[in-house]
Amino acid sequence: MSDSAGFLYLGGENMIEIGYPARYFNPYCGEVNFARENGFRLLQVWYDKDGFQHKDYDEQTQIIKENDFPTIIHAVLDMNEIDEHVPRLVKILKTLEHKEIIIHPVCRSEEITEGSIYKLAHKVKSALDIFNNAGITLYLENNSKLDPIFTTAKEIEIMFEKNPELEFLLDIAHIDDYEHLKEMVSIRKPKILHIADRHLEIIHEHLPIGQGNIDYELIFKNILQGYNGRIILEVIQSDEDIINSKKIIERLI
């Protein structure tokens, strides 16, 4: 069941913390109020080369700090942008007193080849060293076939062989199929999940839970049985969709 603070209790001392992405097209303070009112414990905040939640980096950092709600930054960066942005991210994280960061790596600046995963692993190693020295945990998010790097089970395996201290954020909406999901989980158990629905026959979608055909009951009863990490619902369509998605996941778990 869930308590009024937004935790799911799975028996004993295990609990799951549920968050969702702060919608950049809404005032940030409104997203914080919505999260508090609906039992969410975490807001995911978008960052990329063009801005921080689509605003100036310093301005948005101050807004987040003033609103005083738990957040985690989700940095979507091209492989060849990581080196440039890690020092800026460390500065932001220190200002916010954050101890965690998500990097969602993509590769659009050059052709993806069989060697690309090794280049990405090297970039991640450099970033990981900097974050670790600052006391920050780095989570890396897997991609779908739409952005085919850090996608296959083999690529997941290579990344964690090269970076054993790296943590895994598993985006379930990015899977090829359930066998692909099983393979990834067997390589590295995720500590954070991105959850959204999708029609598995479509290469990339992020839908409210129940509007696609991903079988989350199967996933939580078999593949991720006993999962007790955090969940970020990547649903932004409407307030109702976000609330209903949270209720469905709570019931399934």
Average pLDDT score over residue span 107-117: 97
What pLDDT is recorded for position 109? 97
Q: Which two tokens stand for residue 163?
A: 């970076």
The C-alpha atoms of residue 102 and residue 131 are separated, in whole angstroms, by 11
pTM: 0.93
Domain 7-252 class in CATH: alpha beta
Domain parsing of the chain, residue ranges: 7-252
Average pLDDT score over residue span 70-75: 98
pLDDT tens, 1-38? 334 334 443 333 346 899 999 998 999 999 999 999 99
What pLDDT is recorded for position 2? 39
The distance of Cα 7 from the centroid of its chain, to the nearest Å, equals 18
Query: How much of the chain exceeds pLDDT 90, in percent?
Result: 89
Average pLDDT score over residue span 179-191: 98
pLDDT tens, 91-104? 999 999 999 999 99
